Structure 1
Amino acid sequence: MMGLAIGARGILHLLISITFVLALAGAAIAQTANPPSAPSSATAAQPPAEVRQMLELMQTPQVKEWMATQMKAAPTSTQAETAEVSALSELVGQARRHVEMVSDAALAIPDEVASASDIVEREVAPSGWVLITTEVVMLFLAGALVELLFRIVVPKPQIRQSDDEVMTVAHHATANLFYRIVPAVVFAVATLVPLLAFNWPPITRSMAIAIAIALIVARFAVASGRLLVALVTLPRADGERQISRAKALFWFRRCALFLIYFAFGWAAIQVMVPLGFSDGARYFVAYILGLGLFAIAVEAVWSRPVEEGEHRSLTLSWALTIYFGLLWVLWVTGFNLLLWIGIYAVLLPRALAVATLAVRSLHRAEAGLLAKRTIATVLLDRGVRALIITAAAFWFGRMLGLAADRMAAGEMMVDRIARGAIGGIVILLAADLLWHLARAYINGKLDEARVDGAATDEEKARRARLQTLLPIFRNILAVIIAVIAVLMVLSGLGVQIAPLIAGAGVVGVAVGFGAQTIVKDVISGMFYLWDDAFRVGEYIESGSHKGVVEAFSLRSVKLRHHRGPLTTVPFGELGAVKNLNRDWTIDKITLNVTYDTDLVKAKKVIKQIGQQLLDNPDYSPHIIETLKMKGVEQFGEFAIVIRLAMMTKPGEQFVIRRNALAMIRNAFKENGIEFAVPTVQVSSEGHEADARAAAASRLSQRPSSEEPAV
């Protein structure tokens, strides 16, 4: 029997060593990992007298000063290489000791099971098996029974639309949230009642707490999964779904099964602690249970749904299978750094994508919780992303053995880097959240400030100013947030940012001298905006440039000419600006009439035309002072020049002018008023005979062969 035991132990050592060798290739990348250490001896031997004397000498000030000086000395390349080899060797040694510990504990599990049975017998004996079994059954069933009663008393909510159409809970986000989450909360409270009400024995209480946590986690996993399925399958405005319901249900079932299996596996490992199982035995059971997680993941990969017309990629399926297998091997061999990097590479992008999809579905839902609430949508979307990434970062540090108190107070290089990295992640996430909130708020204000929706001229002017200034403020805010966030991250990593700021100032001065034109453009643009010289949508003229202002940047303005071309003009080249769209404009019309015109009659006709323009509902809102005759401008060589004028809103004078001229022409014709045009009169008295004689003489002098011109 002893020989068989030795042989089995050797085979087990061989199998676990093979998995250890497979993961050995990644050991160099995981030098900062902290795998579980081998169990230390229970008692330490008393050091000899010579050792105690040496320790006392090391406490003297002279020895401490000399050691501090030696520690400050830079290590040579040979020492650095030796340290790297030593660190790698220590890492490999720790992994090997971990494998040996687990393999040795596997052979001792039968004895530990017998010992745990004795502990349970002694624990249950005073109360009796019947009572303990009843309490455990109540712990398992209390939540389910109370939740069932709750569902019977509180029916499924229905939403009645304005047209008396009933909307079921699956199509309404708010009701869906209530229907999925509230029963899970009821289940959790009911599960905790027997845990708190019964007088559990000490060891049994620890086991009951682990079971209750597993039950609550499993129930919330199912509730959250169903809620996500309902959200991501909500139809959009066009009736299409972002993801098919069959595909969403497939991944919900696999993920829920994975989480439930993981929760009860964790509870089983926690139950082994008060029963006296060794660390190696618990690791061995965890690794065996991990094969179940591997099987669930592989089954999901090979049976995953595909879109119509597509084929499941065998290469991807095999690659993911091998990938999950390597993760299990890294877990067994204790390479925690590589393990969690691999887990995060798979889970973190998917978790972020699902969270974003759910929030967007809430926002797009017609009767959703976040419909038409852009700020709340952005806050929830970026806030959930920030919470997921922050929790992942802190959990990653915890799995590497970097506790929060150690990271906060530690002065080792690893502690400082970990503290700076996690702090940098939090800072960047906070900056990202702040920027998206500010951008959503500014974009919302821009949408509200559309010029075409203004009711009055003052409102239109205010909205035009907002359309001009808010985009520039948004760009400046983005730069400020990015610069401050980067500086805070560098400061958290231990980089001295004061020299960076000073250097940036020097570089800024140098760039300012070398790019005076750009600086001139930026500063000129700031003063143009400060003076409110022009706004988006206004027509301006400046030198040879003219057009409608379409957009701004920090150094230039874009002008759209009325014929179509778009011109980008730096602010420094604008100079004096003529704005044709402010307040009002006076349009003057000059007419030439004959000298026999009745000017009083002409004035009455033009007055009637002005009244007709005021009576026209298309023109009257844009006329400040209607068309009227100002009087005689001058006496010309062939006509009397009369001047007409009208005051209109900027940009509207062209259309009104064209229609006014057409009405004047018709009215003058009806009233016998003629427009004067220049004419040429040729007098023929006394010269007609001489002209005919000269023409006949020229014809007689022409050669006979020449044909007359046609």
Structure 2
Amino acid sequence: MMTSWGAVAQTPPAASTATVPPPAEVRQIFELMEKPAVKQWMATQAPTQPLAQPAAQPSAPASTAAPAQPAAPAGEMSGEQMSVLAEFLGHTRTHFNLVSGAAMTLPDEVENASEIVEREVQPSGWAVVSFELLALFLAGAVAEVVFRMIVPRPRIKQEDGAVTTVAHHAATNLSYRVVPALVFCIATLVPLVLFNWPPITQSLAIAVAIALIVSRVTISVGRILVSLVTLPHADGARDVSRETAMFWFKRSCTFIIYFVFGWALIQLLAPLGFSNGSRYLVAYVLGLGLLAIATEAVWSRPAEGGHKSATASWMLTIYFVALWLLWVAGFNLLLWIGIYLVLLPRVLRISTLAVRSLDKAEAGFVARKRIAAVLFDRGVRAIIITIAAIWLGRILGFAADRMAAGETMVDRIVRGSVGGIVILLAADLVWHLARAYINGRLADSSLEGTISDDEKARRARLQTLLPIFRNILAVVIAVIAVLMVLSGLGVEIGPLIAGAGVVGVAVGFGAQTIVKDVISGMFYLWDDAFRVGEYIESGSHKGVVEAFSLRSVKLRHHRGPLTTVPFGTLGAVRNLNRDWTIDKITLNVTYDTDLVLAKKVIKQIGQKLLDNPDYAPHIIETLKMKGVEQFGEFAIVIRLAMMTKPGEQFVIRRNALAMIRTAFKENGIEFAVPTLQVSSEGHDADANAAAARYAAQKTNQAAAAAAGTEPAA
């Protein structure tokens, strides 16, 4: 509309209407256009917004049409590239002209604004308006002071009888800092609704109320974060020291409060008649204050690790100055990218520390609730990153409706990028929730402790299957997320899926052993052939099952070595830890043994084993004598047997054998051992003859050796 007014002002009136006086509205338009602010704005808009062209232009004949431009030679910029560069430089030049021209017209605009304020305040009077503004500034603070007087800081009684204030209790501290801030915000809005504000004064009141509320919420949230990130661990250590947290809390609050009140001032300039150039100029001057706050924080920040790098301080200072220059030049995209690079990682780190501290705090909202803790942690990160991505899209000039319905290449890329970020965040949240649930089930199904046999078997099965399911789930979520992101960016994923299928078949043929191992492992787990913690034997491999992967099992031998066996080569498996085991003991006693007495003694030993509290829970059928196994060459072989839980038979057997030896000795029962008896009666002559022959043989051998001939037989 202002451009049209400029076109009308520059068009000479027709001769036939020269004697007719212009209407009052036209005279008001001419008077308005004579104001310096309007002239300055029109001057800055002329290069970028040309005057309206005639409605219709005669079309040039085809023969006189401009010839097609030849393509730019290699190594030279094309016309489109030159146009983009020219537009870029033109934007910078126009922005500088706009701001520099505002410095000349700012005094006149200030005088005009004062007149507007006088006309605004005149009906009510300065006293009434001042009282209303003072009430707006003080209402929240007064209401909060009254609330704190009525509701004092609560005290908490500890288990040892000591009483501590709320500052030492995380959950109550959180609520006590939130509620007064809510009281402040509600009380600040009361004068805004209660009083009848004039139009411009109402704009000022709204901006001030927003600034006050944001400032109070910033202080409250900052104190909560300081309390959380400085909570000590069990060993007394802290993630962030109290001094460091308070330093950054004060600087951050100062920065945000300065920024929000500067924003309120900039918002007030528009209804007071200030031009865009003047508003930019005031904003950039106020921005020097933000630059000073950031620079002071960089140079006075606490030393990390005992020293502070001057090089890092200079680099950050130059970086912040560069950000301010980008802002002044009007490069908002580069400005926000630079802000994100500095701010976003630190915001994510602080949010993570705060959530984890809240999780570890006593009586915290998410204490001892793994899913809630992960949902809170990853959810906060997802919200922060999503807001940052959407805001960056708006800085690029893509509103929500355009990003949703635009069909240009840039629209699709921006829409796909924002959608991809959301998809990756959702996948990250789903994965961490699933992993937290699985890890929680693994922690709750520990095999240690006094549990029943059925419960122990169920927990062992969970310990076996859940880690494999967790790995498979991670791969599935990652593949689905990547495919959805590519689809959102406009990439056809159908050929990718088909190609992946073909590649999968080729890899399957080329890696038959791996496929065999994976499929065999699936069937072993399906058959529940073994579990983590069980002792198995398969061929030459034996040991306790320690862990699984998709293609192999790890067996820990009882002597220590760890063997990794592929499922495909495992073969038949003998599980020594299922249900029960029968241990058989064989004893050899002499032929004069009283078998009835032996059976009675063994029965007594079996009863003693049952009476022992260390062995009784593991014995299913105690030690019994089964009877005579066979008559040997030197002994009667008797067989003993007992049924125990898997893996417990070895200890019980050793103690049973020791008890059997003692009991047999006390009852006169002897163990039979093979013996060799040699008798010399009636054989002395034969022995003497054999000795004589042996002596003669030795003599012949000695003589033959001396003569060098064969000895006689």
TM-score higher than 0.5: yes
Deviating runs (4+, > 6 A) in structure 1? 41-44, 73-80
SS where residue 452 of structure 1 aligns? coil
Q: 1:79 to 1:202 in 2, by over 3 A?
A: farther
1:403 aligns with 2:395: no
AA at the equivalent of 2:675: T
SS where residue 587 of structure 2 aligns? strand
1:202 aligns with 2:199: yes
Instruction: Describe the superposition over 1:275-318 as per-residue Cα deviations: whole angstroms up to 9, x where unpaired.
Output: 1111111111111111000000110111111157x232111111
Q: 1:236 to 1:38 in 2, by over 3 A?
A: farther
Contact 2:211 2:260 (C-alpha < 8 Å) held by counterparts: yes
Corresponding residue of 1:188:
185
Q: Distance in 1 between matches of 2:132 and 2:518?
A: 76
Contact 2:71 2:78 (C-alpha < 8 Å) held by counterparts: no
Q: Kindly state the Cα deviation for residue 444 of structure 1 after the two structures are TM-superposed.
A: 0.7
SS where residue 108 of structure 1 aligns? helix
SS where residue 546 of structure 2 aligns? strand
Corresponding residue of 2:36:
none
Name which structure has the greater RCO, CA cutoff 8 Å, separation 6+. Answer: 1
SS where residue 301 of structure 2 aligns? coil
Aligned match of 1:652 in 648, 651, 655?
Answer: 648
AA at the equivalent of 1:47: Q
AA at the equivalent of 2:643: M
Aligned match of 1:572 in 568, 574, 587?
Answer: 568
SS where residue 453 of structure 1 aligns? coil
Q: Which 5+ residue runs of structure 1 have no aligned equivalent?
A: 1-36, 59-65
Q: 1:74 to 1:622 in 2, by over 3 A?
A: farther
Q: Distance in 1 between matches of 2:265 and 2:84?
A: 35
Q: Distance in 2 between matches of 1:401 and 1:569?
A: 59
Instruction: Describe the superposition over 1:421-458 as per-residue Cα deviations: whole angstroms up to 9, x where unpaired.
Output: 11111111111111111111111111110111352111
1:137 aligns with 2:134: yes
Q: 1:602 to 1:74 in 2, by over 3 A?
A: farther
Contact 2:72 2:79 (C-alpha < 8 Å) held by counterparts: no
Q: What pairs with 1:160-171 in structure 2 (closer than 5 Å)?
A: 160-171=157-168
Instruction: Describe the superposition over 1:129-176 as per-residue Cα deviations: whole angstroms up to 9, x where unpaired.
Output: 111111111111111111111111111122212222222212111111
Aligned match of 2:237 in 219, 228, 240?
Answer: 240
Q: Distance in 1 between matches of 2:169 and 2:432?
A: 27
Corresponding residue of 2:459:
463
Corresponding residue of 1:212:
209
Q: What pairs with 1:299-448 in structure 2 (closer than 5 Å)?
A: 299-307=296-304, 310-448=306-444
Corresponding residue of 1:84:
81
Instruction: Describe the superposition over 1:253-285 as per-residue Cα deviations: whole angstroms up to 9, x where unpaired.
Output: 000000000000111111111111111111111
Contact 1:590 1:642 (C-alpha < 8 Å) held by counterparts: yes
Deviates further, 538-547 or 334-343: 334-343
Instruction: Describe the superposition over 1:593-613 as per-residue Cα deviations: whole angstroms up to 9, x where unpaired.
Output: 111111111111111111111
1:292 aligns with 2:289: yes
Corresponding residue of 2:59:
54
AA at the equivalent of 2:104: L
Q: Distance in 1 between matches of 2:438 and 2:330?
A: 50
Q: Kindly state the Cα deviation for residue 369 of structure 1 after the two structures are TM-superposed.
A: 2.9
Corresponding residue of 1:226:
223
1:691 aligns with 2:705: no
Contact 1:427 1:485 (C-alpha < 8 Å) held by counterparts: yes
SS where residue 448 of structure 2 aligns? helix
Q: 1:699 to 1:44 in 2, by over 3 A?
A: closer
SS where residue 567 of structure 1 aligns? strand
Deviates further, 232-241 or 659-668: 232-241
Q: Distance in 1 between matches of 2:606 and 2:48?
A: 109
Corresponding residue of 1:39:
45
SS where residue 639 of structure 2 aligns? strand
Question: Cα RMSD between the aligned structures?
Answer: 2.4
1:548 aligns with 2:572: no
Q: Distance in 1 between matches of 2:160 and 2:250?
A: 36
Task: Give the alignment's TM-score, normalised by structure 1.
Answer: 0.89
AA at the equivalent of 1:284: L
Q: Kindly state the Cα deviation for residue 45 of structure 1 after the two structures are TM-superposed.
A: 4.5
Q: Distance in 1 between matches of 2:325 and 2:195?
A: 42
Contact 2:72 2:78 (C-alpha < 8 Å) held by counterparts: no
Q: Distance in 2 between matches of 1:259 and 1:406?
A: 31
Deviates further, 396-405 or 183-192: 396-405
Deviates further, 214-223 or 674-683: 674-683
SS where residue 52 of structure 1 aligns? coil
Q: Kindly state the Cα deviation for residue 100 of structure 1 after the two structures are TM-superposed.
A: 1.1
Q: 1:156 to 1:608 in 2, by over 3 A?
A: same
Contact 2:171 2:362 (C-alpha < 8 Å) held by counterparts: no
Q: Distance in 1 between matches of 2:402 and 2:219?
A: 36
Corresponding residue of 1:535:
531
Q: Kindly state the Cα deviation for residue 44 of structure 1 after the two structures are TM-superposed.
A: 6.6
AA at the equivalent of 1:54: S
AA at the equivalent of 1:185: L
SS where residue 368 of structure 2 aligns? coil
Q: What pairs with 1:583-602 in structure 2 (closer than 5 Å)?
A: 583-602=579-598
Q: Distance in 1 between matches of 2:52 and 2:518?
A: 77
Contact 1:235 1:365 (C-alpha < 8 Å) held by counterparts: no
Q: Larger C-alpha radius of gyration, 1 or 2? A: 2
Contact 2:170 2:362 (C-alpha < 8 Å) held by counterparts: no
Corresponding residue of 1:517:
513
Q: Distance in 2 between matches of 1:87 and 1:43?
A: 17
1:668 aligns with 2:664: yes
What's the % identity of the aligned pairs?
A: 72
1:617 aligns with 2:613: yes
Q: 1:45 to 1:346 in 2, by over 3 A?
A: closer
Contact 1:173 1:369 (C-alpha < 8 Å) held by counterparts: no
AA at the equivalent of 2:107: P
Deviates further, 542-551 or 40-49: 40-49
Q: Distance in 2 between matches of 1:40 and 1:618?
A: 98
Contact 1:630 1:645 (C-alpha < 8 Å) held by counterparts: yes
Q: Distance in 1 between matches of 2:446 and 2:427?
A: 29
AA at the equivalent of 1:151: R
Q: 1:244 to 1:602 in 2, by over 3 A?
A: same
Corresponding residue of 1:278:
275
Q: Distance in 2 between matches of 1:379 and 1:226?
A: 23
Contact 1:151 1:183 (C-alpha < 8 Å) held by counterparts: yes
AA at the equivalent of 1:568: T
Q: Distance in 1 between matches of 2:247 and 2:401?
A: 42
SS where residue 54 of structure 1 aligns? coil
Corresponding residue of 2:92:
95
Q: Distance in 1 between matches of 2:173 and 2:547?
A: 44
AA at the equivalent of 1:94: H
AA at the equivalent of 1:266: W
Q: Distance in 2 between matches of 1:360 and 1:152?
A: 33
Corresponding residue of 2:171:
174
Q: Kindly state the Cα deviation for residue 46 of structure 1 after the two structures are TM-superposed.
A: 5.2
AA at the equivalent of 2:351: A
SS where residue 568 of structure 1 aligns? strand
Instruction: Describe the superposition over 1:597-632 as per-residue Cα deviations: whole angstroms up to 9, x where unpaired.
Output: 111111111111111111111101000000001111
Contact 1:521 1:555 (C-alpha < 8 Å) held by counterparts: yes
Q: Distance in 2 between matches of 1:390 and 1:171?
A: 34
AA at the equivalent of 2:647: G
Contact 1:454 1:460 (C-alpha < 8 Å) held by counterparts: no
Q: Distance in 1 between matches of 2:154 and 2:365?
A: 15
AA at the equivalent of 2:59: M
SS where residue 97 of structure 2 aligns? helix
Q: Distance in 1 between matches of 2:549 and 2:186?
A: 58
SS where residue 45 of structure 2 aligns? coil
Q: Kindly state the Cα deviation for residue 396 of structure 1 after the two structures are TM-superposed.
A: 1.1
Q: Kindly state the Cα deviation for residue 92 of structure 1 after the two structures are TM-superposed.
A: 1.3
1:506 aligns with 2:502: yes
Q: Kindly state the Cα deviation for residue 107 of structure 1 after the two structures are TM-superposed.
A: 1.6
Q: How many residues align?
A: 656
